[in-house]
């Protein structure tokens, strides 16, 4: 299990291209997800920054969703849609970091920062200890451990803020996301309705995820 955020700031897990899992060094102001950042190494040795989303990320987020393959976009939005509306972009960037927290994974190529992964939780209006999770990784970066890393960082923040139960709605043919949750030991409570698998897991079950971050 990861230590609390304040301790994580000083921690540095070893990170080599040979590691079987991706790894990260965490920084930012203690207990303030608004300034969260981590330098991470994916399983194949690529370097990414994992940081809190910013209001000026709108264009980069738009590009992120546009660059998802039709299948990935379908799995993320439950429809073939490729473009996100202004309102949806605002819901990702204009956030309070209390009820909603969004992390992005970025890389720099030819001097421009690109969002290659995103993970968000939204706290349930009726239960402050429960949150809905969603994530996406652009196709070229999938299978490198980035989804696992992003979710681990997000769950670390959630835990520090008292969120102890998580839900994720996943299409039943989204074997990658279901595999990710299963491999992490999280897919404990499942119910399927109209091809959507409703996965619920608790903080204790998230421990195996957190060790990957
Ligand atoms: C789901 C998603 C975020 C995973 O991101 P990722 O960076 O590829 O995930 P990881 O590399 O960390 O892989 C996690 C695990 O998923 C599982 N997995 C990957 N591909 C799989 C497949 N085809 N079948 C079953 N399990 C699979 C594996 O257990 C894998 O771990 P391993 O490679 O160590 O065996 C990414 O595929 C994605 O963005 N998909 C489109 C959008 C989406 O489905 N979002 C989720 C709905 S909210």
Q: 């700031």: which residue's tokens? A: 9
**Cβ-based neighbour number of residue 164 at 10 Å:** 16
Q: How far apart are CA 58 and CA 164, in angstroms?
A: 29
Domain boundaries, the chain: 8-212
Closest C-alpha residue for ligand 1 atom 36: 137
- Pocket of ligand 1 from Cβ distances under 6 Å: 72, 75-76, 134-137, 142-148, 170, 174-177, 179-180, 183
Q: What angle do CA 117, 213, 89 make, to 5 degrees?
A: 25
pTM for this predicted structure:
0.84
- Is the pLDDT score of 25 beyond 70? no
Is it true that domain 8-212 has CATH number 3.40.630.30? Answer: yes
Residue 82 — very low, low, confident or very high, per pLDDT cuts 50/70/90? Answer: low
Spell out the residues 6+ positions from residue 180 whose beta carbon is closer than 8 angstroms to its own.
Answer: 147, 148, 151
Q: What is the pLDDT of residues 144-156, one digit of tens each?
A: 999 999 988 998 8
What CA–CA distance (Å, rounded) separates 72 from 89? 18
Name the residue of 79, 82, 147 whose CB sits within 8 Å of the most ligand 1 atoms, as the mutation to test its pocket: 147
**Ligand 1 center to residue 74 CA distance, Å?**
14
Q: Whose CA is nearest to atom 20 of ligand 1?
A: 176
| Tens-digit pLDDT profile for residues 42-51 | 999 999 999 9
Phi/psi of residue 91, each to 5°? Answer: -70, -20
- Distances from the Cα of 120 to the Cα of 46, 55, 112, 151, angstroms: 22, 15, 23, 9
What pLDDT band is residue 13 in, cutting at 50, 70 and 90? very low
Residue in 79, 88, 143, 185 to alter for ligand 1 test, most ligand atoms within 8 A of Cβ? 143
Ligand 1 centroid distance, CA of 170 (Å): 12
Of residues 144, 142, 172, the one with CA closest to residue 74: 172
């Amino acid at each position: 299990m990861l230590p609390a955020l304040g301790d994580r700031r000083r921690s540095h897990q070893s990170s080599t291209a040979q590691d079987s899992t991706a790894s990260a060094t965490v920084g930012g102001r203690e207990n303030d997800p608004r300034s969260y950042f981590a330098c991470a190494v994916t399983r194949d040795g690529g370097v990414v920054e994992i940081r809190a989303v910013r209001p000026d990320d709108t264009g980069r987020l738009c590009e992120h969703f546009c660059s998802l393959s039709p299948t990935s976009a379908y799995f993320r939005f439950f429809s073939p849609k490729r473009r996100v509306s202004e309102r949806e972009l605002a819901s990702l960037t204009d956030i309070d970091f209390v009820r909603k927290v969004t992390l992005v994974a970025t890389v720099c190529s030819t001097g421009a920062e690109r969002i290659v992964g995103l993970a968000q939780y939204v706290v349930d209006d009726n239960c402050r200890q429960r949150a809905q999770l969603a994530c996406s990784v652009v196709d070229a970066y999938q299978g490198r451990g980035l989804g696992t890393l992003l979710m681990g960082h997000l769950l670390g923040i959630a835990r520090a803020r008292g969120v102890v139960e998580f839900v994720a709605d996943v299409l039943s043919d989204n074997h990658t996301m279901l595999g990710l949750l299963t491999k992490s030991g999280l897919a404990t409570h499942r119910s399927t309705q109209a091809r959507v698998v409703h996965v619920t897991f608790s903080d204790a079950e998230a421990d195996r995820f957190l060790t990957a971050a």
